[in-house]
A and B are shown apart, each in its own frame.
Chain A
């Protein structure tokens, strides 16, 4: 019942040829050129946004943690591009890419990083806790693995409401070792929930390489114990991602069954900006991936090769994204911090809606 895992070694994998093949396959067949160009634009927007946020961090405008998605852009963009109206999405703390991909604005995302009142969560959540329920985006979760039962719960709610939708629940390779995920797998399979667990396998759980934190690969194979379909694919190719997520979503929509999809990807930056990134891989490792599998460069070359766009057009898209990111930093800088009274707002529905309060007694103790 399970798809055959992708066991090719990176060396054997002709990335450009594979991209060409997936570009015409199934779900990718017949997409118009404008849409193809949009995939490029989305990936580039994410990268430029994050590069700008890194600069803001280094300038001291952003504090705390900043987990960059750079290198993994084709995963979020590919997955989100397949989502339909009633499909939902939830992820962990490496969440900027998914946020932008679902249509959150750079302004609200950047302002959130700055802790400003104009941020998507009014400066309350920060980098790890983006939310945009109006775009079916349910966060942004800081505790590793904590979002996995929520993903099952969203799927449960969709099924309960008899909607033909599914939940894409993203997680890292390291997160696959958290108990709640296994409980969620059992529930999802037992109750036929339309959830797709997407493992973004970037090779590392913080500073621990895959082989030092997990036994038994591919990780997605763990789904077998729960009679859940699974597959693996590469994450540098937006078309391949679409192809695989498309199949999983179809299974969710048509048969209300879960899937575990493991997507092989790579992060270029440290685990967070604070990670010196000097104990678990070499600069060369990163360079090698960039040289051969950078999702944006690959797609760039492919678009030119296929005559979908010329170099100038793509350059223009880059410049626009850079400018948009720059403007978002300006917006964030100029935005106000939340007022002090905001610390205790948004805690309880009742205190935000005092006229409709039904409980009595003290809710806050200072």
Chain B
């Protein structure tokens, strides 16, 4: 296994799938000549040429819809949003069209498209550029959404997403792009809908996705060394499909749960998980479920305040200490 960055892991997944399947193509703003706004698509244009690595003008509604249309004929577009925040410009295409066409055609048409890009705050770019729309997407039947936290998961999930026959939304994170991790060189996929227990524990379950899973791991170490609390960290990896079994199994073992996400709280991913736990593991709970999410306001620009607005190791630790 090689130690590579999250950025390169996504890049490898794209390169391998482009090489494996001629129906796969990559499209988005600045993905070719500029190598990607965050250099995720570096080298792909040189390797696969401009027919398969396509620089699009700033026309999200246009090229996202074009991607959906192309997928109707069996192509497998991988459409990049420079930021997931810009998907709102193309909402009709990515929500209405991508999610509903299969259903409305009575299953006659498939939409094997991937939309990918970073979705996170924490970079002082203000309210318009800091959205985390995984809860919006997951609210839409017909769509799938994954939020990988590590290089290993990023590559495996991206490859699974591209091979999937439904629309899959892959949400990355600019703050994770530089993180390194072990990534197998051989071809592997991580099935969508499979959570991973990233740290075994006995006292409390920290359930999270994306960068928050990494924060939970850090919090778990602090809880162990400073408070003698042995936390289990469940990284959902995939939001829809959701690994209910992994969630319930962990909660049944630890009897306590803190749910962590960068979404704003109202109808966040954790709200759904809360409902599942109380419905299916109510008798196992020794304390109310706690949630840590972003403070409920548009994203603030000011650096030190944005740090307070999004979940942090400190806030996770505090929430744990309230119930453990």
| Interface residues, chain A, with chain B CB atoms under 8 Å away | 63-65, 112, 115-116, 121, 123-126, 128-129, 141-146, 174-175, 177-180, 205-208, 212-214, 279-280, 337-338, 340, 342-344, 347, 364-366
Contact = CB atoms under 8 A, between A and B. Distances in A.
A177 B57 contact: yes
B294 to A, nearest CB: 8
B65 to A, nearest CB: 10
Contacts of A279: 33-35
Contact of A129 (B35, B126, B304): B126
A63 B124 contact: yes
Nearest to B90: A179
A366 B58 contact: no
25 contacts: A63-B124, A64-B301, A64-B303, A115-B301, A115-B303, A115-B304, A124-B126, A126-B124, A128-B125, A143-B128, A146-B89, A146-B128, A179-B62, A180-B89, A206-B34, A208-B57, A212-B33, A279-B35, A338-B302, A338-B305, A340-B305, A343-B300, A343-B305, A365-B266, A366-B295
B51 to A, nearest CB: 15
A279 B59 CA distance: 21
Nearest to A342: B305
Nearest to B298: A347
B265 A365 contact: yes
B144 to A, nearest CB: 26
Contact of A347 (B297, B302, B304): B297
Contacts of A112: 301
B69 to A, nearest CB: 16
Interface size class of B (residues with CB under 8 A): 35 or more
Interface in B265-318: 265-266, 291, 293, 295-298, 300-305, 308-309
Contacts of A340: 305, 308
The main secondary structure of chain B at its interface with chain A is loop
Contact of A179 (B59, B86, B123): B59
Given A63-B124, A177-B59, A179-B61, A123 B308 contact: no
Interface string B15-55: 00000000000000110011101000000000000000001
B30 A213 contact: no
Given A129-B301, A145-B89, A279-B33, A208 B55 contact: yes
Contacts of B296: 344, 364-366
Nearest to A174: B58
Nearest to A175: B58
A89 B131 CA distance: 27
Given A65-B125, A129-B128, A337-B302, A174 B57 contact: yes
A342 to B, nearest CB: 7
The main secondary structure of chain A at its interface with chain B is loop
A95 B37 CA distance: 21
A207 to B, nearest CB: 4
B125 A126 contact: yes
Nearest to A215: B57
B153 to A, nearest CB: 26
B265 A343 contact: no
A250 B92 CA distance: 38
A128 B128 contact: yes
B265 to A, nearest CB: 4
Given A124-B301, A128-B129, A180-B89, 17 more contacts: A121-B301, A123-B300, A125-B301, A128-B128, A142-B128, A142-B129, A143-B85, A144-B58, A144-B86, A179-B61, A205-B58, A208-B30, A213-B55, A342-B300, A343-B300, A347-B298, A365-B264
Interface of B: 29-30, 33-35, 37, 55, 57-62, 85-86, 88-89, 123-129, 264-266, 291, 293, 295-298, 300-305, 308-309
Given A177-B59, A178-B59, A179-B62, A116 B302 contact: yes
B34 A207 contact: yes
A143 B305 contact: no
B128 A141 contact: yes
A64 B57 CA distance: 23
A177 B301 contact: no
A143 B29 CA distance: 14
A121 B126 CA distance: 11
Contacts of A125: 126-127, 301
Given A124-B302, A126-B124, A343 B309 contact: yes
A211 B18 CA distance: 27
A80 to B, nearest CB: 24
Which of B33, B265, B297 has its CB near the most chain A CB atoms (within 10 A)? B297
A336 B62 CA distance: 44
Contact of B58 (A65, A141, A145, A365): A145
Nearest to B294: A366
B265 A366 contact: yes
A213 B58 contact: yes
Contacts of A143: 85-86, 88-89, 128
A343 B300 CA distance: 7
Given A64-B125, A129-B128, A208-B34, A337 B304 contact: yes
A249 B33 CA distance: 39
Given A207-B34, A366-B293, A337 B305 contact: yes
Contacts of A142: 125-126, 128-129
Nearest to B88: A143
A205 B57 contact: yes
A210 to B, nearest CB: 10
A153 B291 CA distance: 40
A116 B295 CA distance: 19
Contacts of B126: 64, 124-126, 128-129, 142
A121 B37 CA distance: 27
Contacts of B264: 365
A220 B89 CA distance: 23
B34 A64 contact: no
B55 A115 contact: no
Contacts of A63: 123-124, 303
Nearest to A64: B124
B123 A64 contact: yes
A312 B137 CA distance: 62
Nearest to A212: B55
Contact of B37 (A124, A206, A338): A206
